[in-house]
């Protein structure tokens, strides 16, 4: 059985909801600090303020091109550099999903995706870079293609979902990703993960990191 500290160390406790007051974000950050989470994942606009609310042991993750990934490469690079300057340790970037899906019929899109990944990788050197691929919109061929490109360009993590798609992470999807990554990169499962059972099952399936907005509830119930 996984210990509470080990479980917390694998969770990115996440708040990325639109339409809520800034104080809700600040309270979430303060409540998550000191709980030994892998990170506290928040929108980039709150990263600088978050650094004043956490201890030196806490780490901040943030999202780039979120939630649809349609930003220009240059915009994503700027966002990532700004987030790092503000104090973020982990950078979760939404891939241009439309461009990836286009690869099925137009292979000339592949170099464009590789350029995007390489540009963001260069801008985030020294930080853990996670690529959100939104698996709910992809077939196995497309998932295999993007995992290979993520490995090729030196990115660190493939992340399943934004939480804004039609569905999030599931065990079969994680097992499939595990078969592709061959432990060359990590896997972050996210989207719809709300219980201790969800976390344990996804970790057993091969996930290395869990992204969940229910991190506090999950670790409280596992005590």
Helix (H) or strand (E) holding 130: strand 128-132
Q: State the catalytic residue, choosing from 10, 58, 170, 188.
A: 188
Give yes or no for a cis peptide into 210 (omega within 30° of 0).
Answer: no
Whether 92 sits among the annotated catalytic residues: the reply is: yes
Question: H helices then E strands: how many in the chain?
Answer: 10, 8
Q: State the catalytic residue, choosing from 58, 92, 156, 170.
A: 92
Contacts of 141 (CB under 8 A, 6+ apart): 104
Between CA 205 and CA 166 the distance in angstroms is 21
Q: State the catalytic residue, choosing from 10, 76, 159, 214.
A: 159
Whether 159 sits among the annotated catalytic residues: the reply is: yes
Between CA 161 and CA 165 the distance in angstroms is 7
Cβ 49 vs Cβ 27: under 8 Å: no
* Catalytic center residues: 92, 159, 188
């Amino acid at each position: 059985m996984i210990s509470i500290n080990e479980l917390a160390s694998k969770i990115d406790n996440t708040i990325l909801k639109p339409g809520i007051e800034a104080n809700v974000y600040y309270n979430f950050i303060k409540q998550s600090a000191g709980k030994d989470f892998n990170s506290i994942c928040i929108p980039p606009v709150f990263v600088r303020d978050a650094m004043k609310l956490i201890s030196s042991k806490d780490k901040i993750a943030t999202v780039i091109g979120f939630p649809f990934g349609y930003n220009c490469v240059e915009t994503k690079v700027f966002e990532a550099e700004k987030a790092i300057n503000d104090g973020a340790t982990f950078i979760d970037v939404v891939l241009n999903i439309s461009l990836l899906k286009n690869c099925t019929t137009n292979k000339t899109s592949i170099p464009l995706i590789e350029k995007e990944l390489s540009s963001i990788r260069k801008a985030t050197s020294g930080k853990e870079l996670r690529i959100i691929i939104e698996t709910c919109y992809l077939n196995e061929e497309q998932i295999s293609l993007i995992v290979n490109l993520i490995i090729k360009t030196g990115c660190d993590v493939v992340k399943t979902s934004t939480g804004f798609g039609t569905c999030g992470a599931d065990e079969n999807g994680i097992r499939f990703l595990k078969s592709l990554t061959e432990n060359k990169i990590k896997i972050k499962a996210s989207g719809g993960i709300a219980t201790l059972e969800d976390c344990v099952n996804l970790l057993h399936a091969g996930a290395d990191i869990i992204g969940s907005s229910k991190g506090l509830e999950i670790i409280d119930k596992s005590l």
